[in-house]
Amino acid sequence: MSFDNPKAVEIYTKKTTLFPIEEKLFHEHLSNPQRILDIGCGTGRTTAYLNIMGHKVTGIDIAALMIEKARTIHPDIDYRVMDATQLDFQDRSFDAALFSFNGLDYLYPLHRRTEALFEVHRVLRNGGVYIYSSHDIDALRLTWRTLTRIRNHEPPYKLERTVYGDLITYYGSRETNILQLKAAGFTDIEYYPLDGKTWRYYKAKK
């Protein structure tokens, strides 16, 4: 299943506000006007907010229907259909990058997640900030027997039935996410409390 379907677009269009942790991170690390890449932007929830903050923001999503809707809602913003593992931008094109709402966790198999992290690192300028969220295995009240191997899907991925349809979702830990960021070349890594959710935000620098 992908998010490129009318049901997913309908649900995402209704999401128009930021999470409190997003507001905190945006105002702490993205307060000055910058060129920002919003990856997995959906119909523009975070992109529109960053635009209002005065940033020059480009929103990308692999789901063409999401981008089509985003362009309709926010015609003044640069939206493009693009794969996060193959960013069509030159090196050091952006001051900051965002991958919100656990979008990175739906890249499967694992090597595609790794490729996306390396691509983000490539298109950021030196000192650029990367902010993203990811599901956390430690927050789940499930046993490893429940979470582990499902036919054709290796851990730490889990097949989930959601309102969008069946999704193969990544569930790592703080340690694995930090290791992945370091492997891609990121430094100054911070993570934030779960805040009652099964996912947390991370901030890192190139």
| Mean pLDDT of the residues in the chain | 90
Q: Which of 2-6, 130-134, 153-157, 176-180 has the lowest mean pLDDT?
A: 153-157
pLDDT recorded at residue 1: 56
pLDDT recorded at residue 155: 60
Q: What DSSP character marks residue 156?
A: T
- Report yes or no: 190 and 203 within 8 Å, Cβ to Cβ: yes
Q: Which of 27-31, 70-74, 86-90, 149-153 has the lowest mean pLDDT?
A: 149-153
pLDDT recorded at residue 177: 95
pLDDT recorded at residue 150: 40
pLDDT over threshold 50, residue 41: yes
Residues contacting residue 50 through CB under 8 Å, at least 6 positions apart: 26, 30, 36, 38, 57, 98
Placement of tokens 């209704």 in the chain: 14
Alpha carbons within 13 A on the beta-carbon side of 160: 16
pLDDT over threshold 70, residue 4: yes
Strand intervals (E) in the chain: 35-39, 56-61, 78-81, 94-99, 124-135, 157-162, 165-170, 187-191, 199-205
pLDDT recorded at residue 137: 84
pLDDT over threshold 80, residue 80: yes
Average pLDDT of the residues in 15-35: 95
For residue 49 the two structure tokens come to 């907010």
pLDDT recorded at residue 153: 46
Among the listed residues 86, 48, 94, the one whose alpha carbon sits nearest the alpha carbon of residue 69:
48
Burial 100-120, CB ≥16 within 10 A → b, else e: bbbbbbbbeeeeebebbbebb
Among the listed residues 162, 120, 178, 152, the one whose alpha carbon sits nearest the alpha carbon of residue 8:
162
This prediction has a pTM of 0.92
pLDDT recorded at residue 166: 81
Q: Which amino acid is at 41?
A: C
Portion of the chain with pLDDT greater than 90, in percent: 74
- As a whole number of angstroms, the distance between CA 54 and CA 192 comes to 25
Domain boundaries of the chain, sorted by first residue: 6-135+174-205
Residues contacting residue 77 through CB under 8 Å, at least 6 positions apart: 44, 47, 48, 51, 57, 59, 70, 71
**What end-to-end distance do the CA atoms of the chain give, in Å?**
32
Interval 114-137: pLDDT, tens? 999 999 999 999 999 999 999 988
Residues contacting residue 129 through CB under 8 Å, at least 6 positions apart: 29, 30, 95, 96, 97, 203, 204, 205
Q: Which amino acid is at 116?
A: A
Q: Which fold has domain 6-135+174-205?
A: Rossmann fold (3.40.50)
